[in-house]
Structures are given as structure tokens and as C-alpha cells.
Amino acid sequence: MEIEILKRIITSQREEFEKIFREAYIIQRENLDYVKPFLSHPNILAILGVRRSGKSVFSILLANELKENFGYINFDDERLIGLKTEDLDRVLQAFYELYGEIKLIILDEPQNVDGWELFANRLRRTKKVVISGSNSNLLSGELATRLTGRYIDFTLYPLSFREILNFKPDIYLTEDIAKVQNQLDCYFKESGFPEFRKFGSKIVENIYQDIINKDCLNRYNIKNKKTFKELSRYLTSNFSSEFTYSKLSNIFNIKDVHTVKNYVDYLKEAFIIFIIDRFSPKLKQQVISPKKVYTVDHGICNFLSFKLSKDLGKLIENVVCIELLRRKSTNSSLEIYYWKDYQQNEVDFVVKPGPKVKALIQVCWDISEYKTKEREIKSLIKASKELKCKNLIIINRDKEVEEKFNGEKIKFIPLWKWLMEIEK
């Protein structure tokens, strides 16, 4: 590709995001301070996450924080289709001709160009490099082999409730608490995808279709497109629920269970779903037990679910799961499971940041009904004894108190307050 064409494309892409920064309200993203030190010297920072979660804006915000002269190119551009390995040096030359000496280079969706890994590896020796991608396999191939761990990866999720909240509340003021609760009620009905705030629910549907078509069907050349789409709809509609590969195989009449597992893996790799294992000290039991599925954004649960009526309890459980995964993005040792015994007592989340379980979390929006409260507490206490964990939490709508049951302390925490916490 001719260098003058590349310069025009690079310039138009830059003008596009500069216009966005001038004319749109940009929500400041969390964790910029977390990732900034990783680029204090030449290095590669990989920002991964679901399509349209704000990775490009995050990269530009990071460049602004670093106050570095930078070059940016988005390879997910129809004008760059057919770009070859040998063209990548011309991209670097175009940056120099346009901007002079640059220390930071942002490569958006570079997997669209064969051989990009060698290019990124070469840049890393003298430049600070940010790569972003909407597939978790971005770092599992040639780049990982050549870098042998000499990169940092960070997963970016759609906007959190903390990021969307438009004021800093005083948690001791009744008026502020009411405002936060009202905004949380709105958040449940909306979406964390940044573009939702501008275009509404239709954009969530479009994003979902792009993920399925571009990041799954096309990327993996899936032949049975209809069945794959049905399975993806089923899983995203049955968020916060258990499933097994054999059950999915029966539902969709797929003879080979390995095909089902591959389909689920493709959805995971595109970051549209997350799978939580049932906790067991025995690895084999963990592998064969049913798993639970969660959807990357509750907006997908709201606007694309097949179900005629939404289960608010499951929706809120999904919100809590994604928030736990956000916290995991800055604490790689954090492991998240669910727990269930043979009597069907269940705890929604087992939080394990190391060899010991740190917390057991139940999510129950309305704790006022006696039988519901009794069931949640019974499961927590059983899990507490089995897993030797004393930090027992019930996340609910508005109750904040610590109570004792059978000698065990249980903390009731309002969801808004738990979501406002920033774990270090």
C-alpha cells in the first residue's frame, strides 16, 4: 500500500477520534493509573475486551495521561483490507512523516494483519506500544511465543456503575443515597456499552450482531451458522444460570460435545460470555461439574434476551459477577467460583485471591421475605464450614447491618455501596 494512502487513512482516523473528544462527553475510565506505570519504559501493553467497550478511547486517554507524542492506527478499517506484513514498516514511516519523533504507538485490532506480532515485538525494543483487541486469543499465538511474557495485558469491560455515576456521593447523606439508588435502578434498565448513552438499545443489538458475525462466525469460519447463533442466544438469555456441555448438545442436537465446547469457547474468546466453575478442591470435580454462564453486559440481558419476563435477581447477580471480573483485571491472582453441595444449597460467588477463600457472597435483591432470607443464610453457613471462610456477605437492595446466625457473622451490604467500593 502506498505511503500517501496510509497517511490519509491515519490522518482521517485521528481526526475522527479528535472530533469525538471535542464534541462528545467522554466518561473518564477507571484504572488509567493502574496501567500507566507499565508504560514508564518501552514495553507492550495489551488492552483486551469485548468489541465497543471503549478500548480505543481508553488508549487515547492513556496517551493523554502519559503526555507522549503518539501514532494511532485502527486496522479494523475497510480501507486497510489487504494490508500486508511488508506494509507495516510503511505505517511506521507514515507516523514519522506525520508526527515527527514518536515514543508511543497504538495499534488497534492488529490481528487483522498477518505478521503483526513480529512488527510489535520490534517496536517494543525502543517504543511504548499499546495494542488493543476484541479476542482473548490475541496474545496466545506468535506474539506470546516471541515475547515470552514480556508484555502486560489488561481486560477492559463496559462502563461500571462507578464510572457512570455522575456525582460523588456522601455515603452518610440520605439525599445522596437516594440519588445513587435511583441511578442504580436506571443502570439496571440500561447498558454499560459507552455508545448506549448516545444511541440507545438499538446499538446494543448491533454490537451483539457484530460480535457474533465478525468475532465468532467469520473469525472461526463456523459452518453451522444457524445453530451457533441459537446457542449464543440461549446462553446470553440464560445468564446467571447453570449449564453443561452435554445438555447444550441435546438441546441443539449437536452430536459431538467437543463442537459444543468449541462454540462456547469462541463466545468466551470474544468476551461476550464468562464461565464460572463450581468450586471444588478436586480439579477433576471442577471440570466435570455444571458451570454458570454470565453475559459481559447487562444491556444484552435487557435487550436481547429471549425471555418474556426478566428475572431481576439474576440480572443483579450478573452485574455483581461482571464487577468481580473487573476487580480481577487489576488482581490476576483473584479466582471466582460458585459453590453448591449435593443438597442443592448454593452460594453465588466464592472469592479466592490465593490459597484461601477470602469471601462468600450471596446476591439477593429483596431480603425481606423470611423464607428467602433463611435459604440464603443456610447456604452461606454451610459453605462457611466447608470452605473455612468467615467473611460472609449478602448483597441486597438497601439493608446494611451485621447479624449473627448460629454463631456466624453475616454482613448485609446494599448493592450500591458494594459497587462503589474500589478494591486495591
> What's the CATH code of the domain at 228?
1.10.10.10
Which of 120, 131, 68, 93 shows the shortest CA–CA distance to 7? 93
Q: Are residues 254 and 281 in the same domain?
A: yes
Is residue 283 in some structural domain?
yes
28: left (phi over 0), alpha (psi -120 to 50) or beta: beta
Last residue of a domain, one of 310, 334, 355: 310
Residue among 369, 363, 311, 368 at smallest CA distance from 336? 363
CA distances from 190 to 22, 195, 270, 298, 408 (A): 25, 11, 21, 8, 37
Task: Give CA–CA dist 315/304, Å, rounded.
Answer: 13
CATH number of the structural domain spanning residue 417? 3.40.1350
**Cα 55 from chain centre:** 11
Contacts of 35 (CB under 8 A, 6+ apart): 45, 47, 62, 152, 154
C-alpha cell at 80: 486497510
Q: What pLDDT does 424 receive?
A: 45
217 and 338 part of one domain = no
Bridge partners of residue 393, in order along the sequence: 361, 411
Residues 149 and 33 in one domain: yes
Domain span including residue 68? 3-155
Where a domain ends, among 260, 276, 310?
310
To the nearest 10 degrees (0 to 180), the angle between helices 225-237 and 257-269 is 70
Residue 225 lies in a domain: yes
Residue 162 lies in a domain: no
Angle formed by the axes of helices 88-99 and 3-23, nearest 10° = 60
Q: Which of 252, 284, 310 is the last residue of a domain?
A: 310
Cα separation of 410 and 195, whole Å? 39
Whether 176 maps to a domain, the answer reads no
Same-domain pairing of 15 and 140:
yes
Whether 276 and 345 share a structural domain = no
Are 72 and 102 within one domain?
A: yes
Does the residue 161 lie in any domain? no
Same domain, 290 and 368: no
* pLDDT (0 to 100) of residue 306: 61
Is 384 a domain residue?
A: yes
178 backbone dihedrals φ, ψ, rounded to 5°: -65, -40
Q: What is the pLDDT of residue 123?
A: 93
Predicted TM-score (pTM) of the model is 0.94
Same domain, 81 and 219: no
Are both 305 and 323 inside the same structural domain?
A: no
Q: Are residues 400 and 348 in the same domain?
A: yes
Q: Are residues 124 and 220 in the same domain?
A: no
Residues 8 and 40 placed together within one structural domain of the fold: yes
Run of H or E residues at 292: strand 291-295
In a domain, 180, yes or no: no
CATH of the domain at 51: 3.40.50.300
Could you list the mean pLDDT of each consecutive 10-residue stretch along the chain, which spans 424 residues?
A: 95 94 90 95 94 95 94 95 92 96 95 88 93 83 64 94 90 92 94 95 96 94 96 95 97 96 96 96 86 96 70 94 97 95 96 94 92 93 96 95 93 96 65
Query: Hey, what's the cell of 43?
Result: 514495553
> Domains in the chain: how many in total?
3
In a domain, residue 164? The reply is: no
